[in-house]
Amino acid sequence: MAVGPETLPEFHPVAGLRLGIASAGIKRPGRKDVVVFELAPSSRVAGIFTKNQFCAAPVTLSRRHLAEAAPRYLLINTGNANAGTGARGLRDAEACCQALANSAGVRDVEILPFSTGVIGEPLPVQKIVSALPEALADPREDRWAEAARGIMTTDTRPKGATRKVALGDHTVTISGISKGAGMIRPNMATMLGFIATDARIAPELLQTLASELGEKSFNRITIDGDTSTNDACMLVATGQYSGPEITPDSPQLPKLREALESVYLELAHAIVRDGEGATKFVTIDVTGAASQQEALDVAYTVAHSPLVKTALFASDPNWGRILAAVGRAGVENLDLEALEIYLGDVCLVRNGGRAEDYSEARGQAVMNGEEITIAIDLKRGNVRETVWTCDFSHDYVTINAEYRT
């Protein structure tokens, strides 16, 4: 199940980035489960990683390699997360990097590894290494759609976004893919995102963009409140376009940033739309907060409430559950008389209780839609935060009760 139509675009190739795909048979024979990004030497890479303290071996190693060298390859496998695997996990991730480095003629620190899948099983290094020749045999710029499929786990559909944007006289291309359907929550989740552009971007600016855009997109989505051990979202700038280097002072920056942001949001929203068992795409929009923390506390408390989520699944305008979630979000001294809660454009709560002009029919009309906005105005300040989530359905339970069997 997923919300809305499948919308994998016709990807624009990104000059300087070639993709290879292979079957290592990690979980199922024949399934494409290894993806390699080959980056031109002019490339720069920045990213953000999971904040889960039990971060997986590939996350530890990618962070380390990123600090030591400019990456030439990203190596992604599905079917096994190489997480909760202790010291052996780190050695296994290193072995995969070393094998790819040997085959490609680069140093191992120039490889960034990414793994997603089941936690706690040893990484099948030999299977992955055996698949590398296939992954390196035919690297091409036009294999984005294959790559989008190659990084899927419980995803029901591939996720991608692509743009061409004129920056003055030069055209810049942006393409990206993402994966993830469960264990999705702020600060990343079994969520991977790879966004690439052929723009040339100053290194520090690239990290700033990777951090800020990731924060407001991938770190603002939640399916179930669980944060994976393996999340990563990488921004690659191959530097192969014809224009000048983009710096914090470049007049082109706002337009580039806007285009990148729309790709980040599209990829992050695609994960929510494909949330495990999702039937609704839900925007939680908190305004009038006194601080970012309280805005996020309220947004996530509503987004994670199983009672709100099951009501959304049932298309039940059970506004009392939304109100109760706001009330328990830990914000001190809420002004219950002042705050307002809306479902779409229908006011649910005003003056401390149900809005006078609310009717079940009006609430129901909003709830019947596939895309629903819950807007909460705390009337305490000027801070706004938005979080995206989905509902909680029978299929979520089925998927997660049967994942390993």
Kindly determine how many residues on this chain lie close enough to bind a copy of itself according to the rule CB under 8 A: 65
In angstroms, the CA 110 to CA 125 distance is 19
**Does residue 227 have a known ligand-binding role?**
no
Comparison of 222 and 283: residue with beta carbon closer to a copy of itself? 222
Decide: 220 and 386 in contact? Cβ < 8 Å. Answer: yes
**Does residue 276 have a known ligand-binding role?**
yes
1 binds a copy of itself (CB under 8 A): no
Decide if 229 is catalytic: no
The stretch among 69-77, 260-268, 371-379, 388-396 that binds a copy of itself (CB under 8 A) is: 388-396
Q: Which of 78, 85, 116, 190 is catalytic?
A: 190
Comparison of 11 and 313: residue with beta carbon closer to a copy of itself? 313
Comparison of 287 and 393: residue with beta carbon closer to a copy of itself? 393
* Phi and psi angles of residue 383, each rounded to the nearest 5 degrees, phi first: -85, 140
Per residue in 195-204, is it b (16+ CB within 10 Å) or e — as a string? Answer: bbbbbbbbee
Site for a copy of itself in 328-347 (CB under 8 A): 328, 331, 334, 336
The stretch among 64-72, 173-181, 224-232, 366-374 that binds a copy of itself (CB under 8 A) is: 224-232
364 binds a copy of itself (CB under 8 A): no
**Does residue 173 have a known ligand-binding role?**
no
Name every residue whose Cβ is closer than 8 Å to that of residue 184 and which is 6 or more positions away in sequence: 190, 191, 221, 222, 223, 224, 226, 228, 271, 272, 275
**Does residue 382 have a known ligand-binding role?**
no
Q: Dump strand ranges (E) for 168-260.
A: 170-179, 192-197, 221-222, 232-237
**Does residue 190 have a known ligand-binding role?**
yes
Residue 352 token pair: 């401390």
Strand ordering across the sheet containing 44-49: 44-49, 232-237, 192-197, 170-179, 159-167
Name every residue whose Cβ is closer than 8 Å to that of residue 35 and which is 6 or more positions away in sequence: 19, 20, 21, 22, 74, 75, 76, 77, 135, 147, 150, 151
Q: Dump strand ranges (E) for 126-219.
A: 159-167, 170-179, 192-197
Give the x/- contact pattern for a copy of itself in 38-77, rule: CB under 8 A.
-------------xxxxx----------------------
Binding residues for substrate are 153, 179, 190, 276, 400, 405
Interaction site with a copy of itself (CB under 8 A) = 51-55, 81, 83-89, 118-120, 182-183, 185, 187, 224-229, 304-307, 310-311, 313-314, 316, 318-321, 323-328, 331, 334, 336, 349, 351-354, 392-394, 396-398, 400-405
